[in-house]
Chains A and B, each alone.
Chain A
């Protein structure tokens, strides 16, 4: 009985996680400018990661694998947003302005100095 509940629960979590990852990917492709796309990337980095890893942890049960999964999740949650922050910071310092007025940054084809 418990097994069945765990199975269903991890099914739901994994599917939701897959959906989050996919939505983030589509957003990363479709959103108009760089700063908007960062938000989409953060969705896959955080929500998708958490849901998929918790789903797998439920499947693994109490074992070394669960511990490793937890460690991977923790490090991904620490390093992913840091890397995104570093990237946004670089872009801002190099002069890519987050301009709410213009929807697209296609004009800034060449990277700014």
Chain B
């Protein structure tokens, strides 16, 4: 049981570090990277806590995050791509 606690403390500290990076920036990409790290850390934390509670049937949650997390980052990629295209078009006009 105690090893789960040790691991979750490590994950929690990493979450804080990622949050600091997300708040500091400096570039937007750093913030997006921090969001990504935060997402994977949440997956780890949820799985570890499911074991800590002794109810491994709740791993579904972590599975949902593992599958869905990438969509947000890809949406960011498309957002930047669209913005670059819009900027280049408005320069053409």
Residues of B48-77 contacting chain A, CB below 8 A: 48, 51, 56-57, 59-60, 62-63, 66-67, 69-70, 73-74, 76-77
Partner of A69, one of B32, B59, B80: B59
Tell me how many residues of B have a C-beta within 8 Å of chain A. 50
**What chain B residues lie within 8 Å of A99 (beta carbons)?**
none
Asked whether, in the complex, the Cβ of A113 is within 8 Å of the Cβ of B44, the reply is no
Minimum CB distance partner of A35 in chain B: B29
In the complex, are the beta carbons of B40 and A49 less than 8 A apart? yes
Any chain B CB within 8 A of the CB of A3?
no
Contact present for B18 and A25 (CB under 8 Å): yes
| Chain A: number of interface residues, binned into ranges | 35 or more
Which residues in A have their C-beta under 8 angstroms from that of B66?
71-72, 75-76, 79
Minimum CB–CB distance from B33 to chain A (whole Å) comes to 6
CA distance A87 to B27 in the complex (A): 12
Q: Please report the C-alpha to C-alpha distance between residue A17 and residue B43 in the assembled complex, in whole angstroms.
A: 14
Residues of A near B14 (CB, < 8 A) are 21-22, 24-25, 44
Most A CB contacts (10 A, CB to CB) among B29, B41, B51, B66 go to: B29
Known A-B contacts A25-B17, A25-B18, A75-B66; A105 and B26 likewise in contact (beta carbons under 8 Å): yes
Which 3 residue pairs are nearest across A and B when measured between Cβ atoms?
A25-B14, A18-B10, A65-B56
Known: A52-B7, A105-B27. 6 other contacts (CB 8 A): A38-B33, A41-B37, A68-B56, A76-B40, A80-B36, A90-B81
A-B CB contact pairs (8 Å), 15 listed: A14-B4, A21-B11, A22-B14, A28-B17, A29-B17, A29-B21, A45-B40, A72-B59, A72-B63, A72-B66, A79-B69, A86-B74, A86-B76, A94-B80, A111-B27
Q: What residues of chain A have their CB less than 8 Å away from a CB belonging to chain B?
A: 10-11, 14-15, 17-19, 21-22, 24-26, 28-29, 34, 37-38, 41, 44-45, 48-49, 52-53, 55-56, 59-60, 63-65, 68-69, 71-72, 75-76, 79-80, 82-84, 86-87, 89-91, 93-94, 96, 105-106, 108-109, 111, 113
